[in-house]
Amino acid sequence: MTDPVSTHGFGVGIVGMGGIGIMHARALRELEGRARLVAFSGRGPATAPGPAARPAERLEPHDVIAHPDVDVVAICTPSGTHAALALAALEAGRHVVVEKPLALEVDDALRVARSARERGLMVSVISQRRLEAEHVALKKALNDGALGELRLAMTNVHWFRDDDYYRAAGWRSTQAQGGGSLMNQGVHNVDLLRWLCGPVESVTAQSATLAHPIDAEDTTVATLRFVSGALGVVTTTTATPPGFPATISLFGSRGSVELGQGEVRRWDVPGVPPPEAGGITSGAADPLAIGHAGHLAQWTQIVSALETSALETSPLVPVGIDEAVETVRLLDAISRAAAATRSTSIVDPEIM
């Protein structure tokens, strides 16, 4: 691999140059001098965005991982392939940046975690919404006790995807490959809720396929009991046209907050002024409407962590492997609870 403190910065290989891979490439271009795109795989352009003098090479995935100038592998492929590719990259001695989620099953996530620790390598899972100003401010308010005792937490991801969206990529329709509204669309808000409110003790859930001819669910509703004693609700769907910005609402004994995507809808926190919202664009109806600003923010922190690590001081990896495993654990628990749900009918048999 290249010298990470060279004038070219860290060499990055992107596995999967689809729409999200292009977001990563754009972010890397803005970090020129600290990181550069060396190679990529997928259906993207013959030369992806990078320094004009050194265009990136299009290769097969295993050749991207094995490229001698690649220090960091960014995995932007369908969700069901994330864990295996992360393991391959770690075994090749590369740091890993992986799109959400880290894995579909807890055991696979734990295997990635063990491999990273054994090799002393970094894994960062893209969870860029944690870095938005309003979420940073809310996390601080919670940590400072400004909302008091947390009592209720809710997140709603009421989006819409048409049938063409599912036809365009078969994995989106299949539960076993990471499709469905919870794992594919709701993951960021589930991650935010767990990060903000702390560990979850137990879950109940129901799911259904209400609007699309697909194998995966397109609507999930879950209830959570946090270790703190607070209760929570998660709803995710791609069946609610035209699609609405995702929200997070927290209610404490002293204050309450409701955040949308790029907006502060309510901020009733005594003594704490509302933050300036980041103004991001919602992916409620278009998954690529979000832009690359969030990816740039996380990549900036990733590169800083690697630079710090190169100086033999403690790296500050954003959304590191332990955080990623816990989010997979919660997603998996919701999915299993929905699959195992035994409903109690409340319909009066005399009126049926």
Calpha distance 19→288 (Å, rounded):
7
Interval 199-203 mean pLDDT: 97
Residue 30 confidence (pLDDT) above 80: yes
Q: Is 67 helix (H, G, I), strand (E, B) or coil?
A: coil
Tokens representing 239 are 């069946």
Shared-domain flag, residues 192 and 251: yes
Q: pLDDT of 83-103, one tens digit each?
A: 999 999 999 999 999 999 999
Which CATH number characterizes residue 253's domain? 3.30.360.10
Q: Which residue range(s) make up the domain with 61?
A: 10-128+289-320
Residue 350 lies in a domain: no
Residue 29 lies in a domain: yes
Element (H, E) at 141: helix 133-143
Q: pLDDT of 140-171, one tens digit each?
A: 999 999 999 999 999 999 999 999 999 999 99
Residue 278 lies in a domain: no
Shared-domain flag, residues 155 and 255: yes
Residue 2 confidence (pLDDT) above 50: no
Calpha distance 84→89 (Å, rounded):
9
Residue 280 confidence (pLDDT) above 80: no
Residue 276 lies in a domain: no
Residue 5 lies in a domain: no
Question: DSSP label at 127?
Answer: -
Residue 27 lies in a domain: yes
Shared-domain flag, residues 206 and 296: no
Model's pTM, two decimal places? 0.91
**How many domains would you assign to the chain?**
2
Calpha distance 188→207 (Å, rounded):
18
Q: What pLDDT does 53 receive?
A: 45
Shared-domain flag, residues 42 and 78: yes
Residue 339 lies in a domain: no
Shared-domain flag, residues 254 and 310: no
Shared-domain flag, residues 200 and 174: yes
Alpha-carbon distances, residue 254 vs 145, 154, 155, 304 (angstroms): 9, 17, 20, 37
State the virtual CA torsion across 102, 171, 178, 82 in degrees, nearest 10: -10
Q: What pLDDT does 98 receive?
A: 98
Shared-domain flag, residues 140 and 199: yes
Question: DSSP label at 63?
Answer: H
pLDDT confidence bin for 311, thresholds 50/70/90? very low
Q: What pLDDT does 277 receive?
A: 80
Residue 338 lies in a domain: no
Residue 11's contacts (CB-CB under 8 Å, 6 or more residues apart) are 1, 2, 35, 36, 38, 67, 69, 70, 71, 72
Which CATH number characterizes residue 80's domain? 3.40.50.720
Interval 318-344 mean pLDDT: 92
Shared-domain flag, residues 44 and 105: yes
Q: What are phi and psi of 123, to 5 degrees?
A: -125, 125
Out of 223-232, 253-262, 272-281, least confident range: 272-281
